[in-house]
Amino acid sequence: MQFQSILTSIALAASLMLGGALPAMAKSKSRPPASAQPVTSADDAMLDMQQAFKNNNLKRMRELLPQLSGHPLEAWAAYWELSARLDTASPLEIQRFLNRFAGSYQEDRLRNDWLLQLGKQKDWATFSAEYPKFRMNDDRAVRCYALLTQFNATGADVSAQVAELWLAQRDADDGCAAAAAQQYSVGKLKALQVWQRARLGFENDRPRIATQAVGLINENWTSRVATIYASPARYLDDKFTAVLPRTKEFVTLALTRLAVTDTDAAVQEMGKMRWRAQLTQEEQSWIWGVIGKRSARRLADDALDLFMNGQDKFMHEDQLAWKVRAALRAGNWAEVKSSIEAMSEAQRQDPTWVYWRARALTMLRTPDAAAQASALYQSIASPKGFYEQLALEELGRPVTLPPRPAPLTAAEMDEARNNPGLKRALLAIQLGLRSEGVREWNYSISLHDKGGMSDRALLAAAQLACDNSVWDRCINTSDRTKNVIDVEQRYPMPFRTEVLKQANKIGLDPAFVYGLIRQESRFIMDARSSVGASGLMQVMPATARWTAKKIGLSGFRPHQITDRDTNIAIGTGYLQLVLERFEGSMPLATAAYNAGPNRPRAWRGQTGDPVREAAIWAENVPFNETRDYVKKVLANTTLYAALISGQPQSIKARLGSVGPRLSNTPEINEDIP
């Protein structure tokens, strides 16, 4: 179908679906959950209280708090008011709150905040008394403070745990830095680990991390960190560099930073004899890992060759992941295998690397390769994810729907309905406190009896969310089950009539539409992203205006984008247009929907570049978000196709291959936003 004919069919379908011009169409707005009650004045006070908390308006919170006495969400109001002045609240006042709301998410949330404050104040006695009561225990900084107190009390060797937590922290927090400083001062944490933390700060463009790390070794060196970060090339050219103390560590930092800002210049620097003579093999390998990663993310043909200048055992996990991707693009299966085997055990267990390790074994045809690969595929094969579905097909099994679990009993549903945390969460979401409701919901299903909910309890909680049209909690809760899969909970089809009708009218696979909506919004009609995308299909304002014109939606206004039917019409219309732009390739169209059409057009390669299987192409998408998005949407689509058709499906058939635009395919000059 040519581009113009697609526009005609989309316009006709939109007109039939929406009854002509937008001003005359019927609105279809988000409905509250089935259990919703009329909004009261106290509910309005709750919303005012939340806004006062966001504005840090303590006076207003104090005025509103008495009005919320006895409200089902009073714990949230009390938490907001107390947490806003936690640094001046008395220990007695804090304990009264903790006792009054014992067992709730808000109690644990406030204790988390308090533990962080106690750590910063170095009140180790109170910290040690309160830490065992912290049920979530999901805050790395708090865990680092706990390790610090454990070492103080017992002298236990906690250095490995501290290093793992500290190196994993994305920001320069106080807790893990304090624990790291303690372990470094007693000789348990090695200087190399401190410098590695500084390198990660430079590599990930977080200079505060590097400054904090180097300051553990010598506070007087922090100014040099800032100088190197601002101008690494100038530092490397400085004639005095060779006589400065700890020169090689700072040179490594400078080369790491240069690799990020000017990769080609870093390659040239690494060719200089003075750096090869001065730097250790570990330092050189790390720098080559950064250079290789930056080149791989640019899809440079020489990325793997650059990686090969270093040694795998000295590279960190993200560098190794990108080395595998570069090796996949180069078709070097030996390097795919060896780089995966250099990963930590935990990283190797990710289905991504299990699958590619198995593929490498198969391609290399080493002794017992078939048996080893089969065992690896068997370990992940499942209909639930991208590589899991690919593993099924490698074993010769199509993607089919798993058997549904036994129906939930009345007693199981009653337990879910009567769960205090789930009840509060649903009410919060109903009132518009979605963030608070989601957090309390997740807490309630994760910490039930401190061991997490059983599969049956999770299914009941998910069903409760489904019954109340809280689709994101329905999906995410059902996704947590380990031994059973309720595919209709995990892959629900709200608005089925509307979606199937619109997709079928314009010749678009409805499973593709559902797979995309599930990933975009989890079926939340008024969802809005941080960059301004709105509605079920998360359409950007500019894209909505452009698409509305193309599909003949006259009179479109920006505020209409969260209307269900409008959003579906514009989202499906746009998806069909990008699918046509990329010759029917679902992987390319999916990437275009997420990152815009220009990026995947560049990522697919230029005339003369090789055609690759789409799984390799998808794994090499440079943006983490888009790479994850493409894989999830296509896995979703395959499951939805099985649900809609009732027939076995193939994810490989949807993937196909990806390469440059075919020479006999006309270039469509019109830009798509």
Tens of pLDDT, residue by residue over 330-381, are: 999 999 999 999 999 999 999 999 999 999 999 999 889 999 999 999 999 9
pLDDT tier at 554, thresholds 50, 70, 90: confident
Cα distances from 536 to residues 14, 34, 138, 574, in angstroms, run 17, 20, 31, 13
d(CA 637, CA 511): 5
Residues 129 and 168 in one domain: no
d(CA 359, CA 656): 17
d(CA 387, CA 635): 9
608-622: burial string, b at 16+ Cβ within 10 Å, e else: eeeebebbbbbbbbb
3-state secondary structure 408-460: CCHHHHHHHHCCHHHHHHHHHHHHCCHHHHHHHHHHHHHCHHHCCCCHHHHHH
**629 contacts: CB under 8 Å, gap ≥ 6:** 519, 590, 591, 594
Residue 144 lies in a domain: no
Phi and psi torsions of 103, nearest 5°: 90, -10
Of the candidates 599, 583, 121, the one whose C-alpha atom is nearest the C-alpha of residue 591 is 599
Of the candidates 138, 97, 90, the one whose C-alpha atom is nearest the C-alpha of residue 117 is 90
Residue 57 DSSP label:
-
Residues 500 and 645 in one domain: yes
- List 520, 613, 619, 625, catalytic entry: 520
Residues 105 and 182 in one domain: no
Q: What is the DSSP string of 71-106?
A: -TTHHHHHHHHHHTTTTTS-HHHHHHHHHHTTTSHH
User: Which of 342, 363, 384 delimits the end of a domain?
Assistant: 342
Whole-number average pLDDT of the chain: 91
Of the candidates 232, 240, 239, 234, the one whose C-alpha atom is nearest the C-alpha of residue 263 is 232
Over range 214-241, report the average pLDDT.
89
Residue 213 lies in a domain: yes
Residues 184 and 326 in one domain: yes
Which domain CATH number covers 610?
A: 1.10.530.10
Residue 380 lies in a domain: no
**622 contacts: CB under 8 Å, gap ≥ 6:** 297, 298, 299, 603
Residues 474 and 535 in one domain: no
Over range 305-323, report the average pLDDT.
98
d(CA 480, CA 490): 10
d(CA 66, CA 622): 52
Q: How many other CB atoms are there within 10 angstroms of residue 60's CB atom?
A: 16
Tokens of 439: 């957090």
Q: How many other CB atoms are there within 10 angstroms of residue 124's CB atom?
A: 16
Residues 521 and 557 in one domain: yes
Residue 628: domain span: 3-27+495-658
**121 contacts: CB under 8 Å, gap ≥ 6:** none
pLDDT score recorded for residue 5: 45
Bridge-partner residues for 613, per DSSP?
657
Tokens of 420: 């205090």
Residues 22 and 51 in one domain: no
Residue with tokens 């906690």: 158
d(CA 22, CA 264): 53
Residue 529 has pLDDT above 80, yes or no: yes
pLDDT tier at 558, thresholds 50, 70, 90: confident
pLDDT score recorded for residue 217: 95
Residues 259 and 187 in one domain: yes
Tokens of 661: 């635009």
Residue 429 has pLDDT above 80, yes or no: yes
pLDDT score recorded for residue 278: 87
Handedness of CA 339, 341, 346, 352 (dihedral sign): positive
Residue 13 has pLDDT above 80, yes or no: no
**Contact (CB, 8 A) for 547 and 539:** yes
Over range 466-478, report the average pLDDT.
97
Residues 588 and 535 in one domain: yes
Q: What percent of the chain has pLDDT over 90?
A: 85
Residue with tokens 């950064």: 290
Over range 305-332, report the average pLDDT.
98
**Contact (CB, 8 A) for 18 and 514:** no
pLDDT tier at 10, thresholds 50, 70, 90: very low
pLDDT score recorded for residue 30: 37
| Count of the separate structural domains present in the chain | 4
Bridge-partner residues for 399, per DSSP?
649
Residue 239 has pLDDT above 90, yes or no: no
Over range 605-633, report the average pLDDT.
95
**Contact (CB, 8 A) for 651 and 393:** yes
Q: Highest-confidence range of 383-397, 439-453, 554-568, by mean pLDDT? A: 383-397
- What dihedral angle (degrees, nearest 10) is formed by the CA atoms of 446, 452, 454, 456? -20
Residue 428 has pLDDT above 50, yes or no: yes
Spell out the long-range contacts of 590-598 with Cβ–Cβ below 8 A and sequence spacing 24 or more. 590/516, 590/629, 590/630, 590/633, 590/634, 591/621, 591/626, 591/629, 591/630, 592/672, 593/516, 594/625, 594/626, 594/629, 594/630, 595/623, 595/626, 596/673, 597/671, 597/672
Residue 36 lies in a domain: no
Residues 116 and 190 in one domain: no
231-263: burial string, b at 16+ Cβ within 10 Å, e else: bbbebbeeeeeeeeeeeebbbbbbbbbbbbeeb
Residue 96 has pLDDT above 60, yes or no: yes
Over range 272-298, report the average pLDDT.
95
d(CA 383, CA 406): 19
Residue 463 lies in a domain: yes
Tokens of 501: 């009708």
User: What element of type H or E holds 613?
Assistant: strand 612-613
For this structure, is 283 an active site residue?
A: no
Residue 35 has pLDDT above 50, yes or no: no
Of the candidates 358, 355, 361, 199, the one whose C-alpha atom is nearest the C-alpha of residue 279 is 199
pLDDT score recorded for residue 608: 80
pLDDT score recorded for residue 607: 75
Cα distances from 216 to residues 45, 185, 190, in angstroms, run 48, 9, 11
User: Which of 282, 310, 342 delimits the end of a domain?
Assistant: 342
Residue 355 lies in a domain: no
Radius of gyration of the CA atoms of the chain, in A: 28
Residue 332 lies in a domain: yes
pLDDT tier at 662, thresholds 50, 70, 90: confident
**Contact (CB, 8 A) for 279 and 269:** no
76-88: burial string, b at 16+ Cβ within 10 Å, e else: bbbbbbbbbeeee
Residue 87 lies in a domain: yes
Bridge-partner residues for 612, per DSSP?
658
Q: How many other CB atoms are there within 10 angstroms of residue 542's CB atom?
A: 11
User: What element of type H or E holds 202?
Assistant: helix 191-203
**Contact (CB, 8 A) for 617 and 587:** yes
User: Which of 463, 484, 505 delimits the end of a domain?
Assistant: 484
Residues 317 and 200 in one domain: yes
d(CA 24, CA 171): 51
Residues 193 and 47 in one domain: no
